[in-house]
Amino acid sequence: MIPFNDLLLFAGAALLMVLTPGPNMIYLISRSISQGRRAGVVSLLGVVAGFLVHMLAAAVGLTALFLAIPLAYEILKWAGALYLLWLAWQAVRPGARSPFAAQDLPIDSRSRLFLMGFLTNVLNPKIAVFYLAILPQFISAHHGSVFLQSIVLGSTQIVVSFSVNLLIALSAAGMASWFSRNPTWQATQRYFMGCVLGALAVRLLFEQRRSA
């Protein structure tokens, strides 16, 4: 069983990921503003279905990889740390785009909303790298089945992401309006997020191997 402290730390990492602007956030905000809250929620259900694909693929792949290649952990650790540093730079770089600058999207049916949410997430490189490079840092052979640990961690990530994205979809219009009137808070949020992501990257680099 995964230690509770590790699970809390992973949930924190998942929270940082969902709060970091990416394709999912931009799409859900744009859809909710363009077509209403209900359309945003339907799109979010498609995003969750995409998370399930990422989770199952990572659980199966990581189980095979950890058993076959002992060096895989170190490779994934460095990949995860570098990716976090890249996200930190994207948050603080000059001219970083605000996710609340919504795109104008056409009106779509519920089935298409679900499909577009699903495809947006399945093809989202941020989520793929999170599952392949960040999730393994919290897996240890001493805690039982790698597959079951992957499922527990993946489910945790999905719950965190769904909860945050649901709030975003329901309040997108108000949030976009508030941030447009308060650009200082938007900049503060970006720099804070960049610092936290950078600190997490450093922690991963110095983390000892869990799967010995």
Domain membership flag for residue 192: yes
CB distance 16 to 196 below 8 Å: yes
CB distance 169 to 102 below 8 Å: no
Range of the domain at 122: 4-206
pTM: 0.71
Sequence-distant (6+) residues with CB within 8 A of 181 are none
Is the model's pLDDT at 49 over the cut of 90? Answer: yes
CB distance 44 to 117 below 8 Å: yes
> What is the number of domains present in the chain?
1
Q: Which residue has the higher pLDDT, 24 or 93?
A: 24
Domain membership flag for residue 21: yes
Domain membership flag for residue 212: no
Domain membership flag for residue 108: yes
161/168 Cα distance (integer angstroms): 10
CB distance 93 to 198 below 8 Å: no
Q: What is the DSSP letter of 207?
A: P
**What does the mean pLDDT of the chain come to?**
78
pLDDT of residue 177: 63
182/161 Cα distance (integer angstroms): 25
Q: How far is CA 111 from the centre of its chain?
A: 24
